[in-house]
Structure 1
Amino acid sequence: MDPRPDPSPTPVPSSPKVTPRLSRRAWAWSAVGAVVTLAVFAAMVRVDRTARGTALLELGEWVDVPAPVAGRVVSVDVGLSQKVTAGQVVARLAAASGAAEVFAPLEAMVGRVSVKPGAEVVEGQPLMALMNRNVLPSLYVLFPGELRAELAPGMTFEYQLAGMPVPFEAVIEKVEDPETSLQYARAQKDATQSSEQGAVLVRAHVPSRNYERDGMRRVYQDGMTGRARVRLGTQRLLVAWFPGLRGALP
């Protein structure tokens, strides 16, 4: 037997231990870096800026009949749902300059009468409204009031009514004044009216009297409701996430 003792095994150096504190610090810096990278990306990338509203379809359009002069209503010569022809006398006024007759501007049906005999009216005040069925169905869309300055005739928007498989496009024809918009919103009991900026009503016509669903042509029905969406331009992704930054990041 060899009297020499067995050589001791060579010790293997152990890896330095990573303390929990160092690990947490590394994770923290990684998280900060990820957030900064995401913020820079979101501040540079631009996305579409859109707004949504509620839509109502009517098989026709409302046409106001205004008072030609200021005065007192002597008589209202037509009633609700009565058909009138273009040029027909629908009311008579007593003005400072003498008697004045009010004529229907087109062939239509009386849909609303706003005054009674004896009422005092000012020039331009609507006396009644006629429903014109000889046009394409009308769209009435309520958008949030703060968008008023950004909406204008000629802008294209999408609408999708109940039963329509995909959105269709229409063109804004008129942006109503604040008072008319608010009255319409109240009549529809729309939640938009409760916002600080009120509501803005836009009017348009659908492109045809029918649409396609399940391979068949469907006719629009009076009173159909749905949603509308209008594109207002682009904005930074960061602003889309945090709208309060809109003033700081154009």
Structure 2
Amino acid sequence: MKGRLEVTALLAGRVTSVEVQPGQRVKEGQILARFFAGPEQASLERYQHEFELLLVQRMRDLTNEATSQALTSLRAEMELARFQLEQRLVRAPQAGVVSDVRIRRGQHLSEGEVVVALVQEDSPMEVIAMLPGGSRPLLTQGGRMRLELDGFQYQYQELIIDQVGDELVGPEEVRRYLGPELAESLTVNGAVVLVRAHAPSRFFEADGRRLAYFDGMQGTVDARVKTERIILTIIPGLKPLFH
């Protein structure tokens, strides 16, 4: 799904609550998940209590400069504590629809791990294919590909190539490109070229039914690169006679 945004954890911690579910629409800034924030909450409450006590002293004696300086210092400490407490919340960086929730309550996450994935409601679908590197000179934008999704044998979807990679990439580069979730389920041998094609719709037809594409679905792609007379395929020695 194009425009898919993975929201990651800013800090390591334990998930105390998951505030959204797949398919839910969220606004920018909305809380998606909460991490355990006991020490951060306790620090903020302590600073607030000390600030209130000093503020009372300051109101009793407006000439006390030491109290004034202490209030200024505490105010800065409170702002830092609020910032650290805010870091224990995961908020939506933009409005969208929750397409995937990767976490559960009580789970411990490391910094940078995916929490949820967001998409735009009208995001188009895109197919990324890995074709043999030797076919790169024969692949062109506007060419055709045929997709057969896993689990839907002989149900072919016709695609138009939008973009062909200018470089061949190896297995390690493909794994980095796809990310750890998808890379583990694929086996890549040798150099490949990455080809992108758009799906004409967010739905496909299979056995007379209208079904939806989902992010991460896999399948097999065939790309047409050239045509040849059947007789030349059977008897290659005749090729010099034809142009």
Larger Rg: 1
- Given the two structures, how large is their TM-score scaled by the length of structure 1? 0.41
Counting strand residues as a fraction of each chain, which structure ranks higher? 1
- Given the two structures, how large is their TM-score scaled by the length of structure 2? 0.42
Counting helix residues as a fraction of each chain, which structure ranks higher? 2
